[in-house]
Chains A and B, each alone.
Chain A
């Protein structure tokens, strides 16, 4: 009954996940996630991108109510997570960081346990079929401790999928996998999204990995949102990512946000010390002229060509305070 009601709500919602002003502080010193807002739409493969320590796992753990946010709100399937956790979790599956399972049990026994915990009654044949989907049917009765990292990752995905969830959260699912394993996970994500209509949030510190599967993505750094948008726009090769340095970047950003150029601003949050925009290179002279007309002295305009160049720059240097 509750699940049906949940699905009715879900079908009415365009946003499967709606996060507003999410902040997590550990102690008084460290802010892991800082005023983060984003939304994941139904059917999205939502790439959650950031370097190690950017706050991806903390955010995902807050989405799963493993960590209590310091402030902000999370809605999943249109319901506040804080007050509807059990109903929401009936339709969520997740693999969080390195795969975790009971190593003294077999693959089949692990799947059986998590099937029971999800409130799903499945026969042995059904569970074996699910292991077959991730290529583990032949190892169903082997202890998990004898499995390779890739096999554990595939079993973790089978465990996350055992309740046939509408929303799947995968935190760094390709960590420690060989190229074939990475390709298998990528294909599985695409299959889940395209063939089964699932909504998938997948985190990674590799842009190339996200680029191949994500329909929308967010880039975060030090817990702040840098970029969010449709993949096709962000990976638009006709547009260039440029870093603009002026005599007063703060004022430049403020003025641009209030102008017709606001749509081209890539980064407008996170105490950015630069003005980062994504636009057609031909428009650069007009932009330069606009800034000069506003009385802002332009020091440099540095094209980075693609989102990947920009991402590589932020993951290799610390430019945001």
Chain B
């Protein structure tokens, strides 16, 4: 199994296509950081427009923690496309090249081979997130420094102490890893039906867009299924940045307002990931390889 995973990773990281995702993430983060570094004040003025008259804010608001949060809000919506580029190609790409048949005549079971490919796809996904974390979090901390984190939510403001932020990012990236693994599993599942990469990549994105719209639609009939859609829970990482307050309305350091929501969202995502993989396995084990 280990050597199979090694081979799969070797193939992934020898493909120029793999680095498109890493390049795209670096370019987007670089542009946002440049923009905020050069014109961060305008951004803050726009963000705090309604509050500036009622709040007096002191300190370095535009710090590395806030910049990272802003970037995650923008990027984590689009990262699934970059993950689909590889995950949805894992089987269909091999079928297209004709190499799938060569892999399947080696002395491994289809289950073992599929598991190795899935593990490799997950490792790629995690590496992309680590890359994103390095650039978005550590890069921003380096460029903008650190301070307390000031977050403007829809109907309230959250102020997190500087010492209470970093662990939340670890949690947020961990949760994002779960969400992106689900995306990878979906791409992997769709990959088993096609003999070219384009179809599964487009299908993966279409499924995500379709269910994201369902998740955000405020029509009562859809409320029944919303809790079961993985897209409803993909933004669950934001929960790490909501803090509990005590009776005196003071923030409780180290707390999360709704940890149950994170646990529930994680379980839904894990269930989808397992479900997609098992479905892939069932289809793949019986599939006639005609490519």
A114 and B107 contact, Cβ closer than 8 Å, known pairs A68-B288, A102-B11, A102-B97 = no
Pair B101/A66 contact, Cβ less than 8 Å: yes
Q: How many residues of B contact A (CB 8 A)?
A: 25
Min CB distance, A122 to chain B, in Å?
13
Pair B7/A100 contact, Cβ less than 8 Å: no
Pair B107/A119 contact, Cβ less than 8 Å: yes
Min CB distance, A141 to chain B, in Å?
14
Pair B16/A104 contact, Cβ less than 8 Å: yes
Within 8 A of A (CB), among B143-185: none
Residues 203-242 of B, flagged 1 when their CB comes within 8 A of A and 0 if not, give 0000000000000000000000000000000000000000
Q: Could you say which residues of chain A place their CB within 8 Å of the CB of B286?
A: 68
Q: Could you say which residues of chain A place their CB within 8 Å of the CB of B4?
A: 117
CB-nearest residue of chain B relative to A26?
A: B288
Min CB distance, B122 to chain A, in Å?
20
A87 and B288 contact, Cβ closer than 8 Å, known pairs A66-B101, A96-B101, A113-B7 = no
Pair B10/A100 contact, Cβ less than 8 Å: no
B42 within 8 A of A: no
New contact pairs (7) apart from A66-B104, A101-B99, A105-B11, CB-CB < 8 Å: A61-B290, A64-B104, A86-B107, A90-B107, A102-B11, A113-B7, A114-B106
Q: Could you say which residues of chain B place their CB within 8 Å of the CB of A92?
A: 105
- The answer for the CA separation of A103 and B11 in the assembled complex, in Å, is 11
CB-nearest residue of chain B relative to A92?
A: B105
A67 and B107 contact, Cβ closer than 8 Å, known pairs A109-B14, A113-B10, A117-B7 = no
B103 within 8 A of A: yes
Residues 91-117 of A, flagged 1 when their CB comes within 8 A of B and 0 if not, give 010101111111111000100011011
B49 within 8 A of A: no
Q: Could you say which residues of chain B place their CB within 8 Å of the CB of A298?
A: none
- The answer for the CA separation of A74 and B10 in the assembled complex, in Å, is 35
Q: Is the interface of A mostly helix, strand, loop or mixed?
A: loop
A314 within 8 A of B: no
Pair B106/A117 contact, Cβ less than 8 Å: yes
A159 within 8 A of B: yes
Min CB distance, A140 to chain B, in Å?
16
Q: Could you say which residues of chain A place their CB within 8 Å of the CB of B105?
A: 64-66, 89, 92, 94, 96
Q: How many residues of A contact B (CB 8 A)?
A: 31
- The answer for the CA separation of A89 and B107 in the assembled complex, in Å, is 5
Pair B102/A116 contact, Cβ less than 8 Å: no
Pair A67/B288 contact, Cβ less than 8 Å: yes
CB-nearest residue of chain B relative to A99?
A: B98
B257 within 8 A of A: no
B52 within 8 A of A: no
Min CB distance, A274 to chain B, in Å?
33
Q: Could you say which residues of chain B place their CB within 8 Å of the CB of A104?
A: 14-16
Q: Could you say which residues of chain B place their CB within 8 Å of the CB of A101?
A: 97, 99, 102
CB-nearest residue of chain B relative to A119?
A: B107
Q: Could you say which residues of chain B place their CB within 8 Å of the CB of A94?
A: 105
* Most chain A C-beta atoms within 10 Å of own C-beta, residue among B7, B16, B103, B105: B105
Give the top 9 A-B pairs by smallest Cβ distance, nearest first.
A100-B98, A66-B289, A89-B107, A86-B107, A67-B288, A90-B107, A117-B106, A64-B105, A100-B99
A129 within 8 A of B: no
Pair B101/A100 contact, Cβ less than 8 Å: yes
A85 within 8 A of B: yes
Residues 275-291 of B, flagged 1 when their CB comes within 8 A of A and 0 if not, give 00000000000101110
Within 8 A of A (CB), among B92-116: 97-99, 101-109
Pair B6/A114 contact, Cβ less than 8 Å: no
A249 within 8 A of B: no
Within 8 A of A (CB), among B1-28: 3-4, 6-7, 10-11, 14-16
CB-nearest residue of chain A relative to B95?
A: A100
Pair A116/B109 contact, Cβ less than 8 Å: no
Pair B288/A116 contact, Cβ less than 8 Å: no
Q: Could you say which residues of chain B place their CB within 8 Å of the CB of A159?
A: 102
* Most chain B C-beta atoms within 10 Å of own C-beta, residue among A65, A96, A105, A113: A113
